[in-house]
Amino acid sequence: MKIGNKVDNFLNVSFKSISENESLARLIISSFVLPLNPTIDELNDIKTSVSEAVTNSIIHAYNNEDNHLITMEAFIRNREVTIKIIDDGIGIKDIDRAKEPLYTSKPELERSGLGFTIMESFMDELSITSKEGDGTTLIMSKKISSRDNTYNE
């Protein structure tokens, strides 16, 4: 697959829908973003947002069933990291409702219902596409502040 030279770096990884892989996703995205020399806050914002997205896929899209895949794609272009978290789970019936603070589709699990709110707060952009029965794709991006870095600008 040819990605061209419009991106500085690209990542595509899939992993099993088990809770242990939430920390794996955080580690992978941290390693991917580190050459940009992000601030601690920028790195924590990205890791937390990825964690929330992967956890949503495991708990809500797949109902904690461990026989599914979650795909994480990421690319860096002009000091901006864009991350996609993709599942083929049950989908989201009402995205606007799901984005409301404290809303949860699993109140019996005592979830806080702040996942999308956190992602929207920590990232510069968040978009959600979903179709019931066909899964969900979250795309989030964050511009990394200019500091000394590995990638040429």
CA distance 24 to 41: 19
> Catalytic residue at 42?
no
Task: Tell me which of 9, 37, 111, 149 is the catalytic residue.
Answer: 111
Instruction: State the virtual CA torsion across 72, 108, 113, 116 in degrees, nearest 10.
Output: 20
Q: Among the options 21, 42, 56, 79, which is catalytic?
A: 56
Q: Which of 21, 22, 26, 52 is catalytic?
A: 52
Instruction: Judge whether 56 counts as a catalytic residue.
Output: yes
- Which residue in 125, 84, 118 sits closest to 99, CA to CA? 118
Helix axes 20-33, 40-56, angle to 10 degrees: 140
The tokens describing 139, both together, are 């795309």
Annotated catalytic, 97?
no
- 35: tokens are 């050459």
Cα–Cα dist 95/136, whole Å: 10
d(CA 88, CA 62) in angstroms, rounded, equals 8
Catalytic residues: 52, 56, 111
